[in-house]
Amino acid sequence: MKTVLISGGGIAGTALAALLSRRGFAPTVVERAPGLRGGGQAVDIRGVALEVVERLGVLERARAHRTRMRGMTVLDGEGREVYRSTESTISSGRLDSDDIELLRDDLVRILHERATEDAGTRFVFGDAVTALDQDEDGVRVSFAHAGPRRYDLVVGADGLHSAVRRLAFGPEERFARHLGTHLAIFSADNFLGLEDWQLWLRDGEAGYGVYPVRDNSELRIAFGFAGEPLPEERRAPESQKALVAERMAALHWETPRLLKALAEAPDLYCDSMTQIRMDRWSRGRVVLLGDAGYCASPLSGQGTSLALVGAHVLADALAEARSRSEGDHRAAFAAYEQRLRPFVELNQALATENPGGPAAEESVERAKNAISLDD
């Protein structure tokens, strides 16, 4: 077990590449996008995941990029203030916590810089896995553009709509559990003049959150609305924009200006809030990591931490198995699942504990620390 192909250059895949290269493996990361993906929401590194980034040597870099919110205001459907807090925000929890909230693209860049410090790590952008052919000695992988290559192992870290999962395990519909809502996130100039302060509005089954980033020069705008999963034909950006605008049109306050920003946004992310539930995360020499295998959805607030902790547990399991004379990947994958599954299940439960908002603080504290990296 030496060569490892990782499909997906997001948080999970990039963290795993950095962790594997330090353990003597030769990881290659293939990412469909032409480069590191920009945009996206603020994400959280919580509990045990903080220890992962510390072991990677990037904890201080992550802290330097953390958001600097002073608090938040919750508004009713007409834009009237109904609640204000200087102790916590909906996106990050308590402001006096050691947990780190930062933008997803900042974290990916930090992890990518760390991974490329090791000469054995290779990144390939603008390509994707299209076929997997396993045998007793390895996996022959076909790509959309490059010629086929063989690897000892393949890791699917390619997100909720994982191609590796589909190729190795079957259609997404077998494993997806829709949570009844959708999330649309995009960036815009700070036309509201917010200064380190979040605004959240909800009216019926729709609402949004708005918060400033990049030293208050930009906004991240997150729309949420109820509905069935998006059909494949509605996943094109312009179709998504039309759907989001339709669902949000009834909201008042600054909604017209926010929808104008949506129409002009170059970086819309829109998807259903869905969890992935699987009986096993490996098949032969293929294994799943992060959202591809056990997406908790953004409603849990723990997707990033699951990706980081999962990467560490998988890297440890592979290194431990290789240190034995047989180097059995099956033993590594079994150990990975045995250690991580209870942690995953506890954190997935956060997404459904409180349908009307974030899970209770004590539930989050318990879930985010429910594993030890050294067990």
Average pLDDT, whole number, for the chain? 93
244 within 8 A of 258, measured Cβ to Cβ? no
Of the candidates 226, 220, 231, which has an alpha carbon nearest to the alpha carbon of residue 250?
226
200 within 8 A of 208, measured Cβ to Cβ? yes
The 10s digit of each residue's pLDDT in 118-161 is 888 999 999 999 999 999 999 999 999 999 999 999 999 999 99
- What mean pLDDT is predicted for residues 345-370? 88
Topology at the third CATH level for domain 179-273: D-Amino Acid Oxidase; Chain A, domain 2 (3.30.9)
Residue 326: what pLDDT? 58
Position 33: which residue type?
A
Q: How far is residue 12's CA from residue 22's CA, in Å, rounded to a whole number?
A: 16
Both structure tokens of 354:
């409180």
Residue 1: what pLDDT? 59
Of the candidates 16, 11, 8, which has an alpha carbon nearest to the alpha carbon of residue 318?
16
Domain boundaries, given as residue ranges, for the chain: 3-67+102-175+275-368, 179-273
The three-class DSSP label of residue 160 is coil
Of the candidates 229, 235, 239, 240, which has an alpha carbon nearest to the alpha carbon of residue 272?
229
The three-class DSSP label of residue 211 is strand
Question: In the chain, pLDDT over 70 holds for what percent of residues?
Answer: 97
102 pLDDT exceeds 80? yes
Q: How far is residue 242's CA from residue 114's CA, in Å, rounded to a whole number?
A: 39
- What mean pLDDT is predicted for residues 267-273? 90
Residue 283: what pLDDT? 97
355 pLDDT exceeds 80? no
Split at pLDDT 50, 70, 90, the class of 39 is: confident
Separation in Å, CA 58 to CA 52, 109, 163, 185, 315: 9, 11, 30, 26, 17
Residue 322: what pLDDT? 83
DSSP 65: T
Q: Is 266 exposed, middle or buried (0-12, 13-18, 19+ CB in 10 A)?
A: exposed
Residue 104: what pLDDT? 95
- pTM of this prediction? 0.95
The 10s digit of each residue's pLDDT in 217-269 is 999 999 999 988 776 666 677 888 998 999 898 899 999 999 999 999 999 99
- What mean pLDDT is predicted for residues 11-26? 96
- What mean pLDDT is predicted for residues 346-372? 88
- What mean pLDDT is predicted for residues 297-311? 95
- What mean pLDDT is predicted for residues 91-120? 92
Q: Is 33 exposed, middle or buried (0-12, 13-18, 19+ CB in 10 A)?
A: middle
166 within 8 A of 286, measured Cβ to Cβ? no
Q: Which residues contact 100 (CB under 8 A, 6 or more apart)?
A: 44, 45, 46, 50, 62, 63, 66
318 pLDDT exceeds 80? yes
158 within 8 A of 143, measured Cβ to Cβ? no
The yes-or-no answer to whether 3-67+102-175+275-368 and 179-273 have a common fold is: no
| Residues pairing with 45 in the sheet | 100
Split at pLDDT 50, 70, 90, the class of 328 is: confident
| Residues pairing with 213 in the sheet | 218
The three-class DSSP label of residue 53 is helix
178 within 8 A of 273, measured Cβ to Cβ? yes
Helix (H) or strand (E) holding 230: none
325 pLDDT exceeds 60? no
Q: Per mean pLDDT, which range of 87-91, 170-174, 314-318 is the poorest?
A: 87-91
Residue 233: what pLDDT? 60
- What mean pLDDT is predicted for residues 94-109? 94
CATH of the structural domain 3-67+102-175+275-368, one choice from 3.30.1330.20, 3.50.50.60, 3.30.70.20, 3.30.9.10: 3.50.50.60
Residue 304: what pLDDT? 97
